[in-house]
Amino acid sequence: MFRFAVPPAPARPASVVTGDGYRITVLTSRLLRLEWSPTDTFVDRQTPMVVSRDFETPDFEVTESDDLLEIRTEHLYLAYDRGAFRPAGLSVSLRQRAQSAFFSTWHYGDALPYTGSADGNLGGTTRTLDGVDGETALDPGILARYGFAVVDDSSSVEVGDSDWVRPRPAGGTDLYFFGHGNDYRAALTDFHVLTGPTPLIPRGILGNWWSRYWRYSADGYLALMDDFAADGIPFSVAVIDMDWHLVDIDPRLGTGWTGYTWNRELFPDPERFLADLHERGMLVTLNVHPADGVRAHEDAYPAMAAELGIDPASQVAIPFDITSPAFVDAYLRHLHHPLEEQGVDFWWLDWQSGSVSRIAGLDPLWMLNDIHFHDSARAGRRPLTFSRYSGLGSHRYPIGFSGDAITTWESLAFQPRFTATAANIGYTWWSHDIGGHIGGIKSNELTTRWMQFGVFSPINRLHSGADPFHSKEPARFPEPYRSVMTRFLRLRHLLVPYLYTAAWRAHADGIGVVRPMYHDHPDDDAAYGVPDQYLFGDDMIVAPITAPADPVTQLAAITVWLPPGGWVDLFTGARYEGGRRLVLHRSIDHIPVLVRRGAAVPMLADPREHVEVNPETLVLRLVPGTGTSVLYEDDGSAAPALADRTTIRASQTLRPDGSILVRVEATGPAASAARTLVLDLAGVASIGGLSVDGSPRADRGDVIRVDGTLAPALRVPLGRAHLAAGVEIELTEVAEQAYDAQQAVFEILDRAQIEFGLKHAVYYGSQGASGLGFSQFLDTLTLPTTLRGALVEAVAQA
């Protein structure tokens, strides 16, 4: 039977200061737990949010007088009158100034600055985007520019008592004070110790997902997957929406919204269907709406009803009751486990039924997520579920389903910000309805831009509603949209090694796969002014295009901020110096994806490879410069530890003479395995010399354009390599690809919807001009603002 066999989670006794009715725990020098109980009853068990309070006791000082208790840590000062919590009696102050310090002292009950404001709490996430067309308010997070945040855990339940859950003692207060200033990395580190690490997701889910609310048959679904393969479009996850089960049932029994019995008319042999998908390298998830309980038409109804004391002949519905151990046990054994034995890999728990249960303080969605996630780890599998967000601590249950997206530009425009901001509470694995699910408009441009964002999202799940006009197969779109979609979907699979490295970083280090710019640049004001761009893994900045193209230039524009250093566009090869804001213009072919100079982006050699296994051929796309990148791999086991992780480290040194020294070295369990190694030198036209471990090589490589998508690179095959000892590659006489500014100007003008005479004036009049001179020349002409901006950006690359 399923049980919450979890240990209590008390703090270390040396960290606790207690008295009549209160308990204050100094978890770290910047994290305090503040409890008040009129009955002196305190909670040491886990809660839906908290799984551990076992922090090493920090240095702190306690001073007591007749009317005041004072606690000082390196970073905080607490003053408390030892009574029931009230604004005049309990306060905590920062001892070190935060970046935005309009105030630095919190009093109990204070209304903190508005979530999302320039100087307020930086926000977290929200339960669902169902019904949201555009922006919506977010719950507070644990990061704030003024340096502190307070999380209230008073109304949750206790987990683990008698191996189940129970309400908390009534009347108590249980707060966590995060006072980390603008050290956001430290705040998230403490948060993940308190609430648990982000699980390591299975590698196979990082490819493309196909999802559509549609009445597929087994043959029809498999034929569609084969059509995708024939078009060179890879998928790694098959999502079967609710029509897999019986939906047209006797109205006396229910609506058919919930179901656990295969529709044998559509899927006559479920085991064969699931096996066929697995043979195609795909994981499979089925959609369920569990809130309606179990109806009499289900195959499992007679046995489950009898077990729960219901006469099967009565055909009385079995109510969904996640608070009942008996129901949960029967629900898993009779409904889910048999389907998993047939080949279902994980469940899409489409819960839309509120947050109230029979146990006070228990959100049934949290309970459902926790039960399914841990139950999915049976038989040595890596656990996974797919469900909505249920509050702080939900990062422990990837993947998150953000709800039914409305198909509008406004919905797309909010999703990058929404996704990145969730990293403020460690919730990094959002999955959206890429392309939109319901309502809205038909727009080829919108769908393409949404798909481009999806490829650079944590999860790329294409989804559509039950509408014959609303689907995401690239073949249904005209050129150039079809080709752009296809290239981006192929790129998603090429990037799986990079994405899985980011997944390890989220798991081991608490660093979001997608995160706001201020996570890595908390002391730079500019990082807070670009909420719609984000960091993607260790080495990329992504600025999705979320608005239609300008009708004059046929280009879309977005204002970005680049941190100090050199950055190179993944698609165009354009080079930018950071430390500034600028406007970038892109055709439908691309979005701005900027790669750090000195980075080595690990990639697959072929997008058709099965992504659930480590690649035998490793492609490293080097952006010339000085820097180090890492690649993480493991053996795919259920719960690999750090000791089970193989690390491949690629370092570049750009020498004053322009030569580049590259070192690639592996450590860990699989380090000794030989790999085929390929270097793609982005933006390099040629090299004069190549040596490997001091031995000259005759091959100088060939310039290629990876999959017709990425900027040209010089491909240098290095053959089989044993990376445990390290491989040193020296590249000499490195020649960068020439940039033809005049050709770039021509392409912009050729696309522009303006008078031919104006095109001639710009093109012929500007030849030979550059920099300030070019900008001053444009000032002599009457040009649309958008066109002028695109031209200036193009010439600035020269």
pLDDT digits (tens, 9 = 90+) for 351-367: 878 889 999 999 999 99
Q: What does residue 56 show for φ and ψ, rounded to 5 degrees? A: -65, 130
The pLDDT of 26-36, averaged and rounded, is 98
The predicted model scores a pTM of: 0.97
Residue 631 has pLDDT above 80, yes or no: yes
Cα dihedral sign for 490, 496, 498, 502? positive
* Percent of all residues in the chain with a pLDDT value above 70, rounded to a whole number: 99
Residue 257 CB contacts under 8 Å (≥ 6 apart), including other chains: 242, 247, 289, 292
Residue 145 CB contacts under 8 Å (≥ 6 apart), including other chains: 98, 99, 100, 118, 119, 120, 122, 182, 528
pLDDT digits (tens, 9 = 90+) for 722-744: 999 999 999 999 999 998 889 99
pLDDT of residue 484: 98
| CB-CB neighbours of 255 under 10 Å | 12
DSSP state string for 648-711: EEEEEEE-TTS-EEEEEEEESTTTTSEEEEEEEEETEEE-SEEEETTEEES---EEE-GGGTSP
User: Is 26:11 a contact under the CB 8 Å cutoff?
Assistant: no
Q: What does residue 249 show for φ and ψ, rounded to 5 degrees? A: -115, 170
Mean pLDDT of the chain: 95
Q: Give the pair of three-digit tokens for residue 191.
A: 């948060």
pLDDT of residue 117: 66
Using pLDDT thresholds of 50, 70 and 90, give the confidence band for residue 115.
Answer: low
pLDDT of residue 374: 95
Q: Locate tokens 């080595």: which residue?
A: 600
Sheet holding 600-603, edge to edge: 600-603, 617-622, 674-682, 713-722, 702-704
pLDDT of residue 706: 81
pLDDT of residue 698: 86
Burial label for 484, CB within 10 Å (0-12, 13-18, 19+), is: buried
What are the CA-CA distances from residue 635 to residues 643, 708, 717 (Å)?
11, 32, 26
Residue 267 has pLDDT above 60, yes or no: yes
Q: What does residue 557 show for φ and ψ, rounded to 5 degrees? A: -125, 150
Using pLDDT thresholds of 50, 70 and 90, give the confidence band for residue 114.
Answer: low
User: Is 464:438 a contact under the CB 8 Å cutoff?
Assistant: no
CA-based R_g, the chain, Å: 28
Q: Give the pair of three-digit tokens for residue 36.
A: 């008040």
pLDDT of residue 309: 97
Q: Give the pair of three-digit tokens for residue 502.
A: 């980011």
pLDDT digits (tens, 9 = 90+) for 407-420: 999 999 999 999 99
User: Is 403:132 a contact under the CB 8 Å cutoff?
Assistant: yes
What are the CA-CA distances from residue 274 to residues 204, 219, 271, 383, 601 (Å)?
16, 12, 5, 19, 34
Q: Give the pair of three-digit tokens for residue 612.
A: 């659930």
pLDDT of residue 770: 79
What are the CA-CA distances from residue 705 to residues 113, 408, 494, 572, 749 (Å)?
49, 33, 13, 11, 24
The pLDDT of 381-399, averaged and rounded, is 97
Q: When comparing pLDDT for 8 and 648, which is higher?
A: 648
pLDDT of residue 705: 82
CA 235/CA 283 separation, integer angstroms = 9
Helix ranges, 196-269 (H)? 218-230
Residue 513 CB contacts under 8 Å (≥ 6 apart), including other chains: 423, 428, 429, 458, 499, 502, 503, 505, 506, 536, 537
User: Is 721:673 a contact under the CB 8 Å cutoff?
Assistant: no
Residue 148 CB contacts under 8 Å (≥ 6 apart), including other chains: 92, 94, 98, 104, 106, 177, 178, 179, 180, 181
pLDDT digits (tens, 9 = 90+) for 228-247: 999 999 999 999 999 999 99
pLDDT of residue 352: 77
pLDDT of residue 437: 96
Provide the 8-state DSSP code for 294. B
Residue 101 has pLDDT above 60, yes or no: no
CA 79/CA 681 separation, integer angstroms = 59
Q: Give the pair of three-digit tokens for residue 326.
A: 């008996």
Among candidates 19, 36, 41, which has minimal Cα distance to 169? 41
pLDDT digits (tens, 9 = 90+) for 524-555: 999 999 999 999 999 999 999 999 999 999 99
Polymer length of the chain: 798
What are the CA-CA distances from residue 426 to residues 8, 28, 134 (Å)?
23, 19, 23
Torsion angle, alpha carbons of 786, 789, 790, 792, to 10: 160
| CB-CB neighbours of 552 under 10 Å | 16
Burial label for 776, CB within 10 Å (0-12, 13-18, 19+), is: exposed
pLDDT digits (tens, 9 = 90+) for 581-604: 999 999 999 999 999 999 999 999
Among 94-103, 115-124, 163-172, which range has the highest average pLDDT? 163-172
CA 371/CA 330 separation, integer angstroms = 13
The pLDDT of 272-276, averaged and rounded, is 98
Q: Locate tokens 């200036």: which residue?
A: 792
CA 429/CA 511 separation, integer angstroms = 12
Q: Locate tokens 């080097």: which residue?
A: 622
Strands (E), 190-337: 208-212, 237-240, 283-288
Q: When comparing pLDDT for 698 and 344, which is higher?
A: 344
pLDDT of residue 766: 82
Strands (E), 496-645: 514-515, 534-536, 540-542, 556-562, 566-569, 575-577, 580-586, 593-596, 600-603, 617-622, 627-633
B/e letters for 175-206, b = 16+ CB within 10 Å, e = fewer, are: bbbbbbbbbbebbbbbbbbbbbbbbbbbbbbb
Among candidates 144, 230, 239, 157, which has minimal Cα distance to 183? 144
pLDDT of residue 112: 78
Among candidates 685, 666, 682, which has minimal Cα distance to 674? 666
pLDDT digits (tens, 9 = 90+) for 605-619: 999 999 999 999 999
Burial label for 575, CB within 10 Å (0-12, 13-18, 19+), is: middle
C-alpha atoms less than 13 angstroms from C-alpha of 328 in its C-beta half-sphere: 19
pLDDT digits (tens, 9 = 90+) for 327-350: 999 999 999 999 999 999 999 999
pLDDT of residue 1: 73
B/e letters for 18-47, b = 16+ CB within 10 Å, e = fewer, are: eeebbbbbbbbbbbbbbbbbeeeebbebbb
CA 80/CA 92 separation, integer angstroms = 9
User: Is 327:308 a contact under the CB 8 Å cutoff?
Assistant: yes
| CB-CB neighbours of 271 under 10 Å | 12
Among candidates 442, 457, 449, 459, which has minimal Cα distance to 481? 449
pLDDT of residue 163: 83
Q: What does residue 744 show for φ and ψ, rounded to 5 degrees? A: -65, -40
Cα dihedral sign for 371, 372, 374, 377? positive
CA 322/CA 306 separation, integer angstroms = 18
Among candidates 71, 93, 72, which has minimal Cα distance to 82? 71
B/e letters for 413-447, b = 16+ CB within 10 Å, e = fewer, are: bbbbbbbbbbbbbbbbbbbbbbbbbbbbeebbebb
Using pLDDT thresholds of 50, 70 and 90, give the confidence band for residue 2.
Answer: confident
| 521 alpha carbon, distance to own chain's centre | 19
